[in-house]
Amino acid sequence: MKKIFLGLCLFVAASGTLSSCKDDSKLPAPAAESVPAIFAVPTAGKDFYNYDAARAATSTNPTRPIFEFVLNPTERDLKLETIEVYKSYRRGAVIGPRVKVGDYSSFPATVSVSSRDALQGLSRLSGKDLVPVIPGGGPDVTNNLIVQGDAIVFTFDYIVQGGRRITITQLNAFNAPTGTYSLPPYVAVAVFRR
């Protein structure tokens, strides 16, 4: 009799716990929204910075190489008002703080940035310090601070209808892009090479 009573009690207890596993949450879940996908497409022939031309002093080479890419977002649930484009300096795997390039609100948008404009206002991380990427003599002297393989990384923030900002790329304490979304195809990368 005790075994039957114990078995009945276990059955009732198990039934009670199984019935409480229903998905009847009283808390509302936020509605999922899909964000427009933006993949920057570099323009053929303008898909890198020529290392020698970018380093040369303005007096010896007034024409600077240009990096150009096209932004053409796909339509999703959220409607874009503006794409904010930012630039950062990358050496190896270390990316420096980002600086705003501009706002683009009609699509497809073509973004063209000369090597001189790309370097303006940027710095790179060296240990725990920020180091400028333009020499003390300014842009009119040979830039020995650029190393072949360094790059300018362009990242994007979305401003959607209603003024809400969506930052896709994670930022660290230095305001520098980090994580998967700081790598292609989520960013445009202009490498200094020959």
Tell me the domain boundaries of the chain.
Answer: 37-193
Distance CA 24, CA 50 (A): 61
For residue 23, pLDDT beyond 60 = no
The alpha carbon of 168 is separated from its chain's Cα centroid by a whole number of angstroms, namely 6
Residues 67-122: tens digit of each pLDDT: 999 998 887 777 888 999 999 999 998 999 999 999 999 989 999 999 989 999 99
**pLDDT mean across residues, the chain:** 83
Residues 148-188: tens digit of each pLDDT: 999 999 999 999 888 889 888 899 888 889 988 888 888 99
pLDDT > 70 fraction of the chain, expressed in percent and rounded: 82
* 79, 151 Cβ separation under 8 angstroms: no
Distance CA 42, CA 66 (A): 11
Alpha carbon dihedral 174, 177, 180, 185, in 10-degree steps, equals: -170
- Tokens 């990427």 locate to 133
> What is the end-to-end Cα distance of the chain in Å, rounded?
89
**According to the model, what pLDDT value does residue 14 have?**
60
pLDDT > 90 fraction of the chain, expressed in percent and rounded: 36
21: which 2 tokens? 């596993």
Q: How many CB atoms lie within 10 A of CB 81?
A: 14
Which amino acid, 107?
F
Distance CA 59, CA 6 (A): 95
Provide the CATH topology of domain 37-193. Answer: Immunoglobulin-like (2.60.40)
Q: Which residues of 102-117 are buried (b: 16+ CB within 10 A; e: fewer)?
A: eebeeeebebebbbbb
Say how many residues make up the chain: 194
Distance CA 191, CA 189 (A): 6
